[in-house]
Each structure stands twice: as structure tokens, then as C-alpha cells.
Amino acid sequence: MKYDTSLSPLLDLSDLPDFTQVDATNATTAIDHVLEKSRELIDQVLSAGTPRTFAAVVEPLEIMSHKFSRVWSPVSHVNSVMNSDELRVAHNACLEKLTAFWSEVGQNQKLYQAYKEIRSNDTLTADQERLLDLALIDFELSGVGLEEPHSKRFTDIQLKLSALHAKFDEHVLDCSNAWSYHTESLVELDGLPESALTRAAAEAANRDLTGWYFSLDFPAYLAVLSHATNRDLRETFYRAWSTRASDAGTHDKKFDNTPVIEEILALRQTLAEILGFSNYAEFSLAKKMATSGEQVVTFIRDLAKRSKGAAIKEFEALKKFAASDLDPWDTSFHAERLREERFEISDEALRPYFPLEKALNGMFKITGEIFGITIRPVEVTNAWHDDVRLFEVIGSDGKRAGRFYTDLFARAKKRGGAWMDECIGHNRIEETDSSAVAYLVCNFMPPSGERPALLTHGEIVTLFHEFGHTLHLLLSKVAYPGIAGINGVPWDAIELPSQFLENFAWQPDTLGLISGHYETGEPMPHELFEKLLGTRTFHAGLQSVRQLEFALFDMRLHREQPALHYEQVLSEVRDEVSVVPVSSDNRFANAFSHIFAGGYAAGYYGYKWAEVLSADAFSAFEDTGILDQPTGERFRSCILEKGGSVDAMDAFKRFRGREPTVDALIRHNGLDLAS
């Protein structure tokens, strides 16, 4: 299947996308052409003269899907990192067409029967069987067995949900971009780190203002909540952040996500019921490692019991340290002061030792040693922003395993958070040397003047996390796009490589590789080094119950809808799990993009589920040596190279020799098993 590249530059798949050509017109033209060619191909493989074999039916459609993703990926990506009104309109219009198309494919009875016939009759490899098994589940979850009027209702719901997910994200982004804080009083900003002040001064100057200008992005929010001595300032930022896209606070109510959430939940429940599930959680779990909502809730509550005792002790100690009860905007501030006192260390004292370039090069060296790869920068052209860089990964065979873009700094019109996504997936059906390309995106504080980008250690951990996802995509050796890299991996196992790699940011044998003073290159003093290591379990109980609160809220919400309103569910979950209070106007759910705009609906528990897997996997390195290459090669071959081509539990057992246990996670977090 070939595309007419004269119609749009986005149809040229000869190499990397030209991101400078991503605009509304090119995107619309390209997607319309891809849809036309894809429908033609489906008709062709289903024609009477086409044999029902894997090579004649499945492989062409795998290639179609791969090329489809290649065209859509740069459009979706630029919409996330360089958002504009014109592109947003085109993106959403294209998204509606794509959703309709994939719904049409998923409900294609002839295609479903062809796949079933091939699965039962053809002589297949293990990878081919796995691909077909997952595809057949996808057909069934797409409503292939539905008859009218249910099939149309199902498609309509999918279209509406796709639009609502995009609307939810847009409301969060627009609400954040619309808010700002400007002051000409340095006294008002007492306690803020120099890096935050420098950035805020530059932002003010860019707007022809004097003083300091803050946007509502995470680096600015965290700096204020953790360091500002001015409680009123902390409260202002807290309320702005915690009421984003809601009916509370001072934000424009046009960004309120409350009706969006209510409609999303109602439609998800209806969609699940149409397919015969009791609730959306059952629907979501049909392709995950966990087998039931009850199993997940039991898992969450078990970890919560193990964590909450420690969390309560930690919070009581924090209140004692602060010599007062704590309002929500006080917790981070006093926690940072307690950490400074207890360990004589602070994030800002550490920043000079974590220049971004040192961290990147050290991370590349660590992963190079354990996985037998080489990572080096290459020239980048036609990128979406000047901050963008490009790297390539060379395997032990000397061949390129893949490439990845980095876009690491916060800016306006860029979605918050950190993520990895697929730019180009693997396709070894047509080309045996085909390699994937990834996006690695973060929102770190950018360089200021002559000072380079300096990271907190928490941001170092984030960088390692996203690079774990990146390697999971790039190092795959599976031939078929549908089960290569991160494709076909259960959502509750997808975080295994990312959370696994985080551990290497905490080891005595590796910290020296990722740190060094940005001015002198001097290594971190030994005592500072030891203090940093000691902070790993600081407030581990509080951090654990926070994640478990999100996970239990998500799972209960999608199991009990529509019996309870989402705010009531959240309130009950907080009563059960949470330790740190929130303000009465806190509207956390209204900006919870993971479950209302991302892929984590009834799946947020996957972070903790995969954290059990990742801690247990890393303990193998603790047994053999942190940088032990044979162990790294086994992890690469059993986990990273396999993608979705094998069952996730089977893959883990092949690496570890047994099923996972929670012991390593509890030990790494310093939590008492009896707490």
C-alpha cells in the first residue's frame, strides 16, 4: 500500500516526519487519504480471490496499521507539545474520523471471521498466534458480535468518548494557560530558589513586565509549594492548581470538567453494558494481567494496610516538626524543611550536581553497560521546537536499534507531565532492519541565562522512568507491529520497564555517573551523597497511600458507576486511604487526565501493580551486581525484546524464575510488613 506523497508531506514515510509541516491542512489531507487507502486494502484482503492465510490477510493489515500510525503520530504529538487553536480543531476532526474508522474495522464481521479461520487453520508461529489471539479479543471488545441498533449505539459512544477525552485534556491545558501570577515584590517571593526566580524574571521580561511572572505549570507550582515562606502565596498557588478545570476557585467556569466527567462515566458504563459487562472495570480488565476488579481492590487495600500505619506516623511527625496542624498548602513546605533538617539536604542544594547533560550521559552509560547498547546524539532536522534533540541507539551487533527525540522543558501550549510515545513503530514484515522511533517528553525547568538546566533528583527519577519506556519500545525484536515494543503489553505491566529503571537513579554504583557540579565537574561530596541515599524512604508511606488513593478511586469509580457520584467516591476513598487532608474546594478529579483523557481508566492501579514487578525484577540485580551485564541481557531478552509477543506473567517468570512477590517493594520503601 503506497500513499500519494504529492497530497501532503505527512504522507512521506521514507524517514523521520517533517514536524514543521504539521498544520491543519496537511493533517486533514493526509488522514483523509490514509483512510481511503486503508478501506481499499481491507476490501482487497476480504475479496473472494484472496486466500485466508496469515501472509495474505493479516500481514497486509499489520503494515496498514503501522503506516496509519506513522502518519497520525506527528499530528497527535504536535497537538500535545505545540498546541494551537487551528491545529486543535483539525486534530479533533481527524480524531473523530479515526475513531469511526477503527470502530468500523472492529465491527467488521467478515474480517473477524477471516482472523478466526486463520487462527484455527493456518500453520502459525508463536508470535503469529499471539497477535491473532489479541486481535480476536480486540474485535470482541469492539462490538463485533453486536447487531443493530446496538452496534450503531456502540460506535456512537466511542466517537463521543473520543471527543470528550480530548475536551477534558483541552480544558486542563487551557485553564492552566489562562492563569498567571505577577508580582514586583521580591519579599513576597521569599524562600523561592534562584532557578525559579530567574525563570519567573525572564517570563516577566518576555511580556514587557517588571518583576516576576509565574505560569501554572508544575515546576512553578512545586517551587512555590515547597519553598515559599509566604503562606498566602502558597495557598494562592495551591488553590489555583487544585481547582483547575472545575467549578471551584477563580478559574473561568467554561473550563469546568464536571459535566465532561459525568458524561464520560455514563457513556463508559453504557458501553460496557452493551458488551455484556457489569461495569467498565470489567471491560477494561479484559486485556490486563489482573483478572477481576475484586482482585485489584484487594491488592490495593492490602498495600494500603501495609502503608497507612507508616504514613500516619510520618504525618504526625511532620505536624510535630511544624508545631501546628497543617493546611494542605503547608505540607510540602514543611516536608521539605523536615527533610533538610533530618538529612541536612534539599532539592535545591542538589540541583547544581544534576546538570541535565551529565544526567543524560550517565543514564546512557548505565543502560549501555547493562543492556549492551550505545546511545549517541545525531543531527535533528525539521523538529517541532528548538529544544528538541535526537539520539540513536546502537545494539551490540553494531546496527541501529532505534532513535528517540527528547523535548524536556516546560513551556506554554505544551501538555504538562512527562511521557513517552511512539513516533514510528517496528515493522520487520517488509524491512528486517526497520527500527522504531520514540518521543521522550518532560516538563523540566529550562536553562536560565548562562546557567544550564539543573534537575532535582526527583526529576532525575522521572527521566529514568520515561527512558525505561523508551527502551521498551526501541529494543523490541518482534516482527509484527501489533505486538512489538509497547504494543500488546497489558496496561498493568506497561510500567514494569520504566519503574524498574528508576532504581538505577538511587544506587551508590550509579549516582556518580549521573551527577557532577555544573560549574566545576566535581563529584557530589560523599556526605551529601550518603544523605541523598538516605532520603529514598523519606515519607515513603505518605507517597504510597497517595498513589493508592488514586488507584482505589479509579477502580471503585468504574466498578460502582452510576450508583455514586465521582466526588462521593473520592471522598469515601480519602476517608479510607488518605492521611494528608485536602481543602474543601479541592477538585483533583477534574484534572486527573490519566483516567479521563489517557489510557488509565480502571487501570491506574497498574502503577502499583507494576511497581511490585519492577522492585522484584531489580532485586535480581541486587543479588548479582547492579551493573551486571548477564542479568541485564536476561532482562532485555525476557522483557524488553519481547514486547507484547508473550504473556506478561510468563515473561516475568522467565526472567525471575518464579512469580513476583511484594517483599522487594516493601523493603525498598522501608515499610514495616506489619504496619
Length of the chain in residues, anyone? 675
Are β-strands 389-394 and 400-409 bridged in parallel, bridged antiparallel, or unpaired? Answer: antiparallel
- CB-based contact 339:345 (threshold 8 Å): yes
Please calculate the CA angle 347-542-262 and round it to the nearest 5 degrees.
105
Residue 591: partners with Cβ closer than 8 Å, 6 or more residues away? 172, 244, 245, 246, 257
The H or E element containing residue 137 is helix 126-141
Neighbours of 325 (CB within 10 A): 8
Residues forming beta bridges with residue 213, ordered by sequence position = 182
Q: Assess contact for 27 and 90: CB atoms under 8 A.
A: yes
Facing residues of 182 across strands?
Answer: 213
Position 384, amino acid: W
Q: Of 170, 459, 466, 495, which one is the catalytic site residue? A: 466
Give the Cα separation of 145 and 563 in Å (integer): 28
| Distance in angstroms (rounded) separating the CA atoms of residues 668 and 464 | 17
The interaxial angle of helices 194-206 and 218-227, nearest 10 deg, is: 130
How many CB atoms sit inside 10 A of residue 17's CB?
24
Distance CA 16, CA 78 (A): 14
Q: Judge contact between 95 and 73, C-beta under 8 A.
A: no
Give the β-pairing of 436-444 and 400-409.
parallel
Longest dimension (CA), the chain: 81
- Nearest of 498, 490, 516 to residue 421 by alpha carbon: 498
- The whole-angstrom separation of Cα 425 and Cα 435 is 7
Strands (E), 206-344: 212-215
Is position 450 annotated as part of the catalytic site?
Answer: no
Helix (H, G, I), strand (E, B) or coil at 293: helix
**Could you say which DSSP state residue 328 is in?**
T
Helix (H) and strand (E) counts for the chain? 26, 7
276: burial class by Cβ within 10 Å (0-12, 13-18, 19+)?
Answer: exposed
SS3 571: helix
Separation between Cα atoms, residue 12 and residue 2, nearest integer Å:
10
What does residue 214 show for φ and ψ, rounded to 5 degrees? Answer: -115, 135
- Sequence-distant (6+) residues with CB within 8 A of 130 are 483, 488, 644, 645, 646
- Give me 586's grid cell: 479541592
Residues catalogued as catalytic:
466
